[in-house]
Amino acid sequence: MAISVARFLDVAEGLQPGQFTVGDHATITSLSDLDPTYRQLLDDPVTAIVSVTGGDGRSNLTPVWFDYEGDLVLLNLATHRKKVGWLRKNPQATFALMSPANAYHWLSIKCTVAREVSEDDPVEGPRVTAQLDKIWTKYTGNEPPYALRDPSIDERRVLFELTVDRIATFGRP
C-alpha cells in the first residue's frame, strides 16, 4: 500500500515563500509511518470533521469520533443516519482533524470505503460493538458500554472500513 502525503508549507516558524502551498510530496506505506506530529492527531481524542457527498450532490460535513486500525480508517455510524446511505451511494469520504490547541496544525485524509460490517452480523458484529465502546472511552473517558444509543429505537450500528487514498498535513502543535 502506498499513501501519498502532501506536506503544506506552514508558518510555525515564521513567514516563508510559498507558505500555505504544498511544499513537497512523500509516500508512506502505512499510517504508522506518518510523522508523529500528525499521527498524534489520529491517536488523541480529536473530533474529526467528515465530508461525504449528500443526496443533493454537495458536501455534507459532520463532526465525528475518529478511529483507525492498522491502515484502515474506521467510521462507526448508526444505521438510520443519512450518512450511511450516502456512503453506500458514493463511497468516498474526507476527514479533517484539527488540533484543538492550534488550528494551524491539521491533517486531512481522503478515503474510500473498502467494506462495511453490520453490528447484526453473527460473526463480525461483536467487533462493531467493541469498536464503538473503544471510541466511547477514547472520547469521553467513560467505561463501556457506549451510552448514547437512541432509546426511542433499537439503534443498530455499521462500521465502515475505509482505505486511505491521500493525506495532507499542515503545521505543528
For 29-47, the DSSP string reads SSGGGS-HHHHHHHHS-PP
Range of the domain at 52: 32-165
* Each residue's pLDDT tens digit, 117-158: 999 999 999 999 999 999 999 999 999 999 999 989 999 999
Question: Which H or E run contains 116?
Answer: strand 102-118
Kindly state whether residue 96 falls inside one of the protein's structural domains.
Answer: yes
Kindly state whether residue 23 falls inside one of the protein's structural domains.
Answer: no
Q: Which CATH number does the domain housing residue 58 bear?
A: 2.30.110.10
Helices (H), the chain: 36-43, 82-89, 125-140
**R_g (Cα) of the chain, nearest Å:** 17
The domain total for the chain is: 1
* Each residue's pLDDT tens digit, 36-89: 999 999 999 999 999 999 999 999 999 999 999 988 999 999 999 999 999 999
Q: 12 or 124: which carries more pLDDT confidence?
A: 124
Could you give the angle at the alpha carbon of 23 between the alpha carbons of 43 and 17, nearest 5°?
125
Which residues lie closer than 8 Å to 17 by C-beta, 6 or more apart? none
**106 closest CA partner among 51, 42, 62:** 42
Number of helices followed by number of strands (H, E) in the chain = 3, 9
Kindly state whether residue 4 falls inside one of the protein's structural domains.
Answer: no
At 9 the pLDDT is: 78
